[in-house]
């Protein structure tokens, strides 16, 4: 059974199921301020022979459901939207890790140097009426051939820490990108066009924060 329909007088809340400052900043960029952040701790290990695009979609859905369960366990009531996303970087069918060590990051940079790769970002939205909406966005990115100086300098920056594929496109690694086809914001972590379309299609007031504040 789905969740009960919200009363007309109740404004729905938006819960972002993420601790990522990048995803929060992207939402804020388009005037959307989540009412709460509720990161979900889920196992992100790929299943055997799992395709990168399937992993991104599965983890986004899993994070959304986990955040909903946490919200229920806290006894939170009222209409809510729960938004979750996950980003996966791949070369062919090979899924690159979210790098935690310099060795992992160096291996990723060597693999990405001078070649194209794909970035998949899955988005899941749970609505107050119990609907589950999903989007999967694919972006193709090509890196220049990285010199030893490029790699050593980037590794020293530690910008790669915790990043899928060992790089952050919104940072120093932007200088490595020769070509990008798809969603830039999707590579950062949240495809804005698709996310805003999902929210607007389900009745969330995505443009409510756009009005210029009245001056006294």
Residues with active-site annotation: 86
Q: What are phi and psi of 20, to 5 degrees?
A: -70, 120
d(CA 96, CA 142): 15
Contact between residue 100 and residue 125 where contact means Cβ atoms under 8 Å apart: no
d(CA 144, CA 32): 35
Q: For the chain, how long is the longest CA-to-CA vector?
A: 61
d(CA 70, CA 168): 29
Alpha helices for the chain (secondary structure H): 21-29, 52-73, 102-112, 148-157, 184-188, 192-201
Q: Which residues pair with 121 in a beta bridge?
A: 87, 137
Please report, for residues 6, 75, 191, the alpha-carbon distance to residue 121 in angstroms, rounded to integers and kept in the order given: 30, 30, 7
Element (H, E) at 91: strand 80-91
Structure token digits, residue 205: 């007031």
Structure token digits, residue 149: 């100086």
Structure token digits, residue 107: 């291996």
């Amino acid at each position: 059974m789905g969740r009960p329909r919200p009363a007309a007088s109740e404004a729905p809340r938006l819960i972002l199921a993420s601790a990522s400052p990048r995803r929060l900043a992207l939402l804020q960029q388009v005037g959307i301020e989540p009412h709460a952040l509720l990161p979900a701790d889920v196992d992100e290990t790929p299943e055997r022979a799992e395709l990168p695009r399937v992993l991104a979609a599965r983890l986004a859905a899993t994070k959304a459901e986990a955040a909903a369960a946490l919200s229920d366990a806290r006894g939170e009531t009222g209409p809510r939207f729960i938004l979750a996303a996950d980003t996966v970087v791949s070369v062919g069918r090979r899924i690159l890790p979210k790098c935690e060590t310099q060795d992992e990051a160096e291996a990723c940079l060597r693999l990405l140097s001078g070649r194209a790769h794909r970035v998949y970002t899955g988005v899941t939205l749970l609505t107050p009426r119990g609907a589950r909406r999903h989007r999967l966005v694919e972006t193709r990115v090509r890196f220049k051939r990285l010199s030893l100086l490029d790699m050593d300098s980037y590794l020293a920056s530690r910008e790669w820490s915790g990043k899928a594929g060992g790089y952050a496109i919104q940072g120093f690694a932007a200088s490595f990108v020769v070509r990008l086809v798809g969603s830039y914001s999707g590579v950062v972590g949240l495809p804005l066009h698709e996310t805003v379309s999902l929210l607007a299609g389900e009745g969330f007031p995505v443009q409510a924060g756009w009005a210029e504040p009245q001056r006294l």
